[in-house]
Structure 1
Amino acid sequence: MARVHLSRLPGERVQVVDDGHVDVLDVTALPAFVARREADDAPRWVWDDTARWYAPLLAAGVRVERCHDLRLCHRVLRRAPAVDARLLDGEEADLWDRLRPAEPTEPVLVSADDATEHLRADLEDARQLAAVEASPEAVRLGLLLAAESAGALVAAEMTHAGVPWQVEVHDRLLTDLLGPRPPRGARPRLLEELAVEVRGILDSPDLNPDSRPHLLAALRRAGIEVPDTRRSTLHRIEHPVVEPLVRYKQLAHLFSTNGWAWIDQWVGDGRFRPVYQPAGSATGRWSSNGGGALSFPVQVRSAAVADDGWVLVVADVAQLEPRVLAGMSGDRALARAARGADLYQGMVDDGAVATRQDAKLGLLGAMYGATSGESGRMVAGLTRRYPAAFGLVEEAARAGERGQVVRTLLGRGCPALGGGSWDESPDAPPADLDDQDRHRRAYGRFTRNFVVQGTAAEWASCWLADLRNRLWRLVDDGPLESRPHLVFFLHDEVVVHTPADLADRVAAEITAAASTAGALLFRELPVDFPLNVSVVRSYADAGKPGGPPPPDV
């Protein structure tokens, strides 16, 4: 397959390296060039950052079938245990090491005259290809890099298409809960009434309930000693202030995170367009770079409404991580229990445990490091029944405690102990021996979960990559927005916006893509990945009753 390299040049120009031929285009000519090459043989586009290159192409009505995201893949290869990282060294290598994702505020393809703005895609691609080819895990790493890059395409397409969003519904929800929209800098009426009630109960007329220190001091003066103001902490005390204070905190959070200012910033032309960050976490899970896309509050979900004549197809995977653990460990007994919709019940039917709750406690305990109480007791019993699965996470934990890095099924390496990123801590490892021991145990808990959560992220990336192309092929022509297209993704859940008459076919393609992803990763041990699928007009109605089903890990 042809690889076409695109590099930004000063002066709003683009260098194109295509089958050894070098050309320079004005940036305005790029969409037409890409469209012609896509029509010819759909090459793999190699560029530094998909978010930067693909957005203007989509705006011009150009979709690409595949790409290689050098920034994402460089990060994977730098940390992959099966890669000789020295093969990534060379001209501009230090710039690739510090290259950051494009920010949502960056409106153009070519912007500042910074060194990282003008990196040579062809040079870095040659190094990455050599590093993969030299690895004993070349096939797995190749799949990981392809899936990672496809995920970047999906993220850009979801931002471009947006989630259908009815502002009038969102505004009505806010007004019902908070009162009319207030002037800038003021609290909504119902929120201010709760603040007045809290001040009165605590006899603190100047209290700012949004200030944690002020609130803790006021609570202390009222004889309430609490270490923090979390809802779970407040619910443990008996005092008249608890109910209005908890209500205030809930509504204040809605006002600040998904209130009118959020609508103004992130919703336009009937679409919510968040900015996703594929592989934004150490495990490869996505994060959000703007708009809070990975957390739709229950209170405003009913504003996500399909267009007239369209529907939302919502699908989430039942118990994704335990199923991934069965597949990556090759534990046939656990894989048998995973056949069907409910893995935990399958473990009960297998005679491993007495109840579904016991099965859930045991599996979650194994993946998250529970060693005491009921969960710890279940782990010990289930280890004998499923030695391969439980042994895999246990060995990952021991490796972490020894200060070793671990890897996912396809080869993503975890951050090193003391590297400052695995626990989001900027501090160096502690000098005290007892603290060092606790630090290592904490790292062991991280590596225990990393191998499973990271492999689950790889499965989800393969699911997205295949589903994206399946949806495109459902309709013969038309731009992305006129076809069934992905509008939301969260770890183990996808939402597709589709014409209503294609809903059944979309649901079938979502299911088929999940099976394909499982076969790609776990060829030797087929594992079921059953889906909960809803076809709805509003996202709030998915999985009714009670809204979208909570993830059952």
Structure 2
Amino acid sequence: MTSPRARWRAVGRAGGGIRLGEIDAAGRLRDERDARAADLAAEVAADPEARWVWSDTGSWYPQLLAAGVRVARCHDLRLCHAILRSSVLVGDDASTLREATAWDEPPPEPDGRGQALFDLDGSAAGVPHDLREVAAEFARQNAALEGASEPARLRLLLAAESAGALVAAEMHAAGVPWSRGVHDGILTQALGPRPRTGELPARLAALAEEVRAALGDAGASLDSQPRLLRSLHRAGVFVDSTSRWELARHEHPVVAPLLAYKKAMRLLTANGWAWMDEWIPRDRFRPVYVPGGVVTGRWASSGGGALQLPRLLRPAVRADPGWRLVVADVAQLEPRILAAMAGDLALADAARGTDLYAGIVSRGILPTRQDAKMALLGAMYGATTGDSGRLVPVLRRAYPRAMGLVDAAARTGESGGVVRTVLGRSSPRPSEAWRDVQSGASDEGADERTAAAARSFARERGRFTRNFIVQGTAAEWALAWLADVRTRLAALPSATSGSPADGVADRAHLAFFLHDEIIVHTPEEQVDAAVAAVRDAAATAGRLLFGGFPIDFRLDLRVSESADKD
């Protein structure tokens, strides 16, 4: 984590104010001094080469960005603690780190703008911000790394995770360029003109009446599932839920309008006019990202629903005048990750320079692209029935190394073991309830019902660990990609026109991230540089994780005024 050439500086709370100091791997502080909140931005700006150690990026960085100051590198103690406390690469001698449970606290709740505030009085929930606690935790983490079996992998993961936290804060600050006019047009076309408060849009109201007429029930409640189920049963539609899959199995005049109503209502409630007014008051959508919010290392969101935006709204993501969007997503990221993790040259060859599923078909392994996709996804997610279950054995014969890797991970999970990603993020240990079920099944005289439950629980955990190693490593690759794109774009000069000069959005910058897709907002004169940054960073991420293994990460990349695919 530390290196002889690195200059680490710590920032924390002390006596109701802010205190800074240089810090070494043992947590020793020197050159300490107090700083007012108003002066912190100047302190950071004056030392651009420093690597900042702090409690939680979301608690400190948003205010620096608001002051126009960008941090090049940081070490996020909260995120790094979560990785180290659970990693199987960290030995039992790191018990002091695991005993520091105050660092297990979740990120602080954002304020109304999606930003956490400097916690100067210690009253806010979350991890410790006191400078002495920051120094002690930094020392614990360095000691854990020194005793780790593969410290280099963990150091790379901690650096990528911390860089991801910086990216998340910067993307919130920059925002996704958004057209309210286009958004309103999409809603109007799908739902009808914007209604008055308390009323349904015209198309939604018409669909509701059509559903009630088909049910023969003018007073049917469409937004209460228990009441709607009773109305459906009275009409002869005997379903256990109102899911699309279950309703579609029935031939009845109510099915089509009900499915249309449910889809329209989801759009209205999740991304309708009220959502637009709250999250896009002007020309930017500013979601709140949660790096490492999923156990595999994938991001989550705590506001705005950035990770669930419907494709219908993508045309509303529009570049500013004189700017463009570089939209890039990785084709078949997780299967390519699997090939590289397993060192499966045959699967890597199928992916080289082409659609991986099509590559499997061209080699005569499976007859159709859909078959190849279903089989690979089934292998990674543990499908044992249906078409996926039927096709997976074919892949086992064609790609024994890749299939053997996920099969072994599943067996480890079924037996209660822990698996890890390439860089060392480890799966959670089985819950106490899981262990109790397995223990009960092993007792002498356990009945078949108990044994069946234990087998079911074991298979479920096996499916989880099977996918964990692939999804988690894919998340690590994406973090490395993000971090390198960020660094390359930050080296570009400020734009001649467009966004305000705030240290992030005054040049080509990351605006959106979703698992395997990024959107860069760039001035027209920096388009070529932005495209090169995205492509080159993808290649670099592959080398960082997999060395010289011959796997390419194929990008579907386009430059456009809108995020909508043509």
| Both structures adopt the same fold (TM-score exceeding 0.5) | yes
Amino acid of the structure 2 residue aligned with 1:118: H
1:362 CA displacement: 2.6
How far, CA to CA, are the matches of 1:287 and 1:277 in structure 2?
Answer: 5
Amino acid of the structure 2 residue aligned with 1:268: P
Structure 1 counterpart SS, 2:306: coil
How far, CA to CA, are the matches of 2:432 and 2:76 in structure 1?
Answer: 24
For residues 117 and 264 of structure 1, do their structure 2 counterparts lie closer, same or farther at Cα, with a shift above 3 Å needed? farther
Residues 1:33 and 2:36 are matched in the alignment: no
- Please list the CA deviations of residues 454-480 of structure 1 after superposition, one character each: whole Å capped at 9, or x if unmatched: 000000000000010111112268521
How far, CA to CA, are the matches of 2:506 and 2:436 in structure 1?
Answer: 52
Structure 2: stretches of 5+ with no match in the other structure:
1-5, 24-29, 441-449, 496-500
Structure 2 counterpart SS, 1:534: strand
Amino acid of the structure 1 residue aligned with 2:270: T
How far, CA to CA, are the matches of 1:429 and 1:45 in structure 2?
Answer: 46
How far, CA to CA, are the matches of 1:298 and 1:226 in structure 2?
Answer: 29
What residue number does 1:519 align with?
A: 543
- Please list the CA deviations of residues 360-388 of structure 1 after superposition, one character each: whole Å capped at 9, or x if unmatched: 23322211112344433432232233221
8 A contact 1:52–1:102 mirrored in 2: no
Residues 1:72 and 2:96 are matched in the alignment: no
1:419 CA displacement: 6.0
1:173 CA displacement: 2.0
8 A contact 1:6–1:45 mirrored in 2: yes
- Please list the CA deviations of residues 267-326 of structure 1 after superposition, one character each: whole Å capped at 9, or x if unmatched: 133100000111111111111111010122133221111000111110011111111011
What residue number does 1:547 align with?
A: none
Higher mean C-alpha displacement, 146-155 vs 353-362: 353-362
8 A contact 2:494–2:507 mirrored in 1: no
What residue number does 1:461 align with?
A: 479
Residues 1:438 and 2:456 are matched in the alignment: yes
8 A contact 1:49–1:102 mirrored in 2: no
Amino acid of the structure 1 residue aligned with 2:70: R
Residues 1:97 and 2:97 are matched in the alignment: no
8 A contact 1:78–1:85 mirrored in 2: no
Residues 1:480 and 2:482 are matched in the alignment: no
Residues 1:108 and 2:117 are matched in the alignment: yes
1:249 CA displacement: 0.6
What residue number does 1:536 align with?
A: 560
Amino acid of the structure 2 residue aligned with 1:61: G
What residue number does 2:444 align with?
A: none
Higher mean C-alpha displacement, 173-182 vs 127-136: 173-182
8 A contact 2:179–2:318 mirrored in 1: yes
8 A contact 1:401–1:441 mirrored in 2: yes
8 A contact 1:383–1:391 mirrored in 2: yes
What residue number does 1:253 align with?
A: 266
Structure 2 counterpart SS, 1:37: coil
1:38-53 pair list within 5 angstroms: 38=48, 42-53=49-60
Higher mean C-alpha displacement, 489-498 vs 119-128: 119-128
Higher mean C-alpha displacement, 353-362 vs 295-304: 353-362
How far, CA to CA, are the matches of 1:539 and 1:295 in structure 2?
Answer: 15
How far, CA to CA, are the matches of 1:146 and 1:234 in structure 2?
Answer: 48
Higher mean C-alpha displacement, 108-117 vs 231-240: 108-117
- Please list the CA deviations of residues 381-412 of structure 1 after superposition, one character each: whole Å capped at 9, or x if unmatched: 32233221110000000001101010001100
Structure 2 counterpart SS, 1:379: helix
8 A contact 2:58–2:107 mirrored in 1: no
* Correspondence for 1:371 among 376, 381, 384: 384
What residue number does 1:187 align with?
A: 200
Higher mean C-alpha displacement, 298-307 vs 320-329: 298-307
* Correspondence for 1:14 among 11, 18, 21: 18
Residues 1:3 and 2:11 are matched in the alignment: no
* Correspondence for 1:290 among 290, 303, 310: 303
* Correspondence for 1:214 among 219, 227, 230: 227
How far, CA to CA, are the matches of 2:190 and 2:488 in structure 1?
Answer: 41
1:301-312 pair list within 5 angstroms: 301-312=314-325
For residues 85 and 195 of structure 1, do their structure 2 counterparts lie closer, same or farther at Cα, with a shift above 3 Å needed? farther
How far, CA to CA, are the matches of 2:363 and 2:541 in structure 1?
Answer: 26
8 A contact 2:494–2:506 mirrored in 1: no
Amino acid of the structure 2 residue aligned with 1:108: L
Report % sequence identity: 51
Higher mean C-alpha displacement, 150-159 vs 195-204: 195-204
How far, CA to CA, are the matches of 1:17 and 1:474 in structure 2?
Answer: 30
- Please list the CA deviations of residues 87-109 of structure 1 after superposition, one character each: whole Å capped at 9, or x if unmatched: 25269812112243443545521
8 A contact 2:97–2:144 mirrored in 1: no
1:243 CA displacement: 1.5
- Please list the CA deviations of residues 150-204 of structure 1 after superposition, one character each: whole Å capped at 9, or x if unmatched: 1111111100000011112212222232233333333223212222222222122
Structure 1-normalised TM-score?
Answer: 0.92
How far, CA to CA, are the matches of 1:214 and 1:267 in structure 2?
Answer: 35
1:86 CA displacement: 5.1
Structure 2 counterpart SS, 1:77: helix
8 A contact 1:315–1:533 mirrored in 2: yes
8 A contact 1:70–1:124 mirrored in 2: yes
Amino acid of the structure 1 residue aligned with 2:550: P
- Please list the CA deviations of residues 335-358 of structure 1 after superposition, one character each: whole Å capped at 9, or x if unmatched: 222211212222334443444334
Paired positions, count: 533
Higher mean C-alpha displacement, 342-351 vs 229-238: 342-351
How far, CA to CA, are the matches of 1:350 and 1:140 in structure 2?
Answer: 35
Structure 1 counterpart SS, 2:510: strand
What residue number does 1:271 align with?
A: 284
For residues 354 and 201 of structure 1, do their structure 2 counterparts lie closer, same or farther at Cα, with a shift above 3 Å needed? closer
Structure 1 counterpart SS, 2:85: helix
Amino acid of the structure 2 residue aligned with 1:471: L
For residues 177 and 356 of structure 1, do their structure 2 counterparts lie closer, same or farther at Cα, with a shift above 3 Å needed? closer
Residues 1:508 and 2:532 are matched in the alignment: yes
8 A contact 1:471–1:485 mirrored in 2: yes
What residue number does 1:199 align with?
A: 212
How far, CA to CA, are the matches of 2:20 and 2:161 in structure 1?
Answer: 23
1:429 CA displacement: 5.2
